[in-house]
Structure 1
């Protein structure tokens, strides 16, 4: 199956082997968070702590470039032709780099992977909701003013329970005015109201997760009618207890109701998954046919934050 991914946090995609190598390089003790090639956490709070510890192993532009190259190379090896990476220069600042240094590093990793494998990738800037409206607006202003052509979208992640979407609407206006594609995390931890608020106040092309919309038929119909694409991450939803198992997950119901859905891995090694595993689960455990899965990949490419010439090339690769 040819694959495409729209929803992955780049630090959350850190291969455990790379984290171990960098921890050894910098003399960091990860024994609480990493053992036998797996990340260790057991609830949302410990997940956040584990994520922060792993993100802390990156200390140089070379490290961040290696991360982007490693993840994209891994994707390309399983027939992925396109990926979008959620990036946060805040991680670069924590590592002692400049925002531009962080972005330069991720760009270098993307270009190296593309040259080696042919995979196409773009970056989507993240504003951190839990850091407040000022930080998110600052991220949007930086995103529209910096000179990195592979940065093509803007998003807001973080704890959905912090503030309201209205508090952050200005950031999305800045990003839209700057020509960036818009997506926003909603309908994961919080219920259908968060999806409705995103639609009303942000008017995004896509929504990250969005699955809690399934609880309200009228909202599902609105998503279908407006053609808003959901970046669905089934294993992430199970790992973070949004749903107890794949049998309970609403991906099939949303798809059959005409909502545009895509398959994504979110923070794959933290959730014992991968993009390849998400595609396999859709086929083997959620009952999607190969044609339906190809349709989700097509949806991802059609919704990608790329120029039309690149989109046409990707669609031609998908068509074979």
Structure 2
């Protein structure tokens, strides 16, 4: 239960299955085919996971649905000692990228987050994400939503989805728009696209963080470049193991990346899909890599320094990590 900071969490992907089933029942929507006999999300591989993810998200249809989701996700985070979370939010799922509708969804999410924070729960900040396999044109619409609502709560811009859809340079316009609006940048890469996808995202989109990024380990020169430049990897080991990218926790490269001087952090990605929590991630890493509290403190300090929040929030987080009042 040490204080934890999480930088890579998809808010829809963090929806507990029971929450989604309950919401579907309220709306009389049949999505029973995305669950197994135990009530867990069921998928065959990463691409089937995307299908199930989008089906689960389809029951989230109003700002109030997302407010309820935000409370449920933050309650789970609080139960695992999380004090700060950056969640990926997508206008694609919140009003179909219509700016006026997106403002309504965002207001509901932000209000729910503020209520949780006021009650002593985690601080939440948002990173707007276009969906890569929806294409560059829709990404531009998402970037406009991000630019128009950038501020204290919306602090970053990234990109999720299928890494094999298009090239990072296809999305340069969207990332440039977000950068000009003052948003800080991250991008999913180095999960299914290989080490070259990391280099292309870093080079072409000029991001300061990479979501996942673990396939960089396959290119020693790239590992050295990332370490030297201080690029931060938002690593989600449980996600990678659950999706079959690595056979087990001992085979996961986060330990080797850390030893080579790359700045790594630990997150859960879409925790109920992968039967994980941030506490479980820490426990499994401690078991597999013999990491002690000092290592986890370093990872959380790295996460605090890499967070996209304002300086005052960062300073307060670091104080909490250090055990100061």
Shared fold (TM-score greater than 0.5)? yes
CA–CA separation in structure 2 for the residues paired with 1:163 and 1:220: 24
What corresponds to 2:29 in structure 1? 28
Q: CA deviation at 1:15?
A: 1.0
**Which residue matches 1:205?**
208
Kindly indicate whether residue 161 of structure 2 is the aligned counterpart of residue 192 of structure 1: no
Q: Deviations over 1:135-166 (max 9, x none)?
A: 11221222111266300000011111111111
Residue of structure 1 equivalent to 2:46: 44
Structure 1 spans left out of the alignment, 5+ residues: none
Of residues 53, 57, 66 in structure 2, which corresponds to 1:55?
57
User: In structure 2, do the counterparts of structure 1 residues 125 and 273 end up closer, same or farther at CA, with 3 Å as the change threshold?
Assistant: same
Conserved in 2, the CA contact under 8 Å of 1:209 and 1:230? yes
Alignment of 1:139-218 (within 5 A): 139-146=142-149, 149-218=152-221
The answer to whether the 8 A contact 1:73-1:117 is kept is no
The whole-number CA distance in structure 2 between the counterparts of 1:142 and 1:41 is: 31
- 1:316 Cα deviation (Å)? 0.3
What is the CA–CA distance in structure 2 between the aligned matches of 1:137 and 1:277, rounded to whole Å? Answer: 37
| Range with greater deviation from structure 2 (103-112 or 152-161) | 103-112
Q: Equivalent residue of 1:244, what SS?
A: coil
Question: How has the CA–CA distance of structure 1 residues 145 and 281 changed in structure 2, closer, same or farther, with 3 Å as cutoff?
Answer: same
Query: 1: CA distance between counterparts of 2:135 and 2:48?
Result: 22
Residues in 2 aligned to 1:184 and 1:105: alpha-carbon distance in whole angstroms? 25
Deviation per CA, 1:167-196: give whole Å up to 9, x if none.
111211111111101000010101111111
Q: What aligned pairs does 1:75-86 form with structure 2 within 5 A after superposition? A: 75-86=77-88
Measured in 2, the distance between the counterparts of 1:301 and 1:212 equals 24
Matches within 5 A, 1:233-272: 233-272=236-275
Structure 1 residue matching 2:128: 3-state secondary structure? strand
1:15 and 2:16 equivalent?
yes
Distance 1:238 1:147 in 2: 34
Shift of the 168–65 alpha-carbon distance from structure 1 to 2, 3 Å rule, reads same
- Corresponding residue of 2:124: 121
Superposed CA offset, 1:191-221 (max 9, x none): 1111111221122110000000000111000
Kept after mapping to 1: 8 A contact 2:202/2:208: no
Q: What RMSD, in angstroms, separates the aligned Cα atoms of the two structures?
A: 1.6
| Contact map agreement 1:140 1:171 (CA 8 A) in 2 | yes
Summarize deviations over 1:14-66 as a string: whole Å, max 9, x none. 01221121111111223211243411112223312211121112122111001
Following the alignment from structure 1 to structure 2, what is the Cα–Cα distance between the partners of residues 200 and 94? 30
Indicate conservation of the 8 Å contact 1:128/1:156, yes or no.
yes
Paired residue for 1:302? 305
TM-score, scaled relative to structure 2: 0.94
Describe the shift of the 1:95–1:224 C-alpha distance in structure 2 as closer, same or farther (beyond 3 A). closer
TM-score, length basis structure 1: 0.96
1:102 paired to 2:97: no
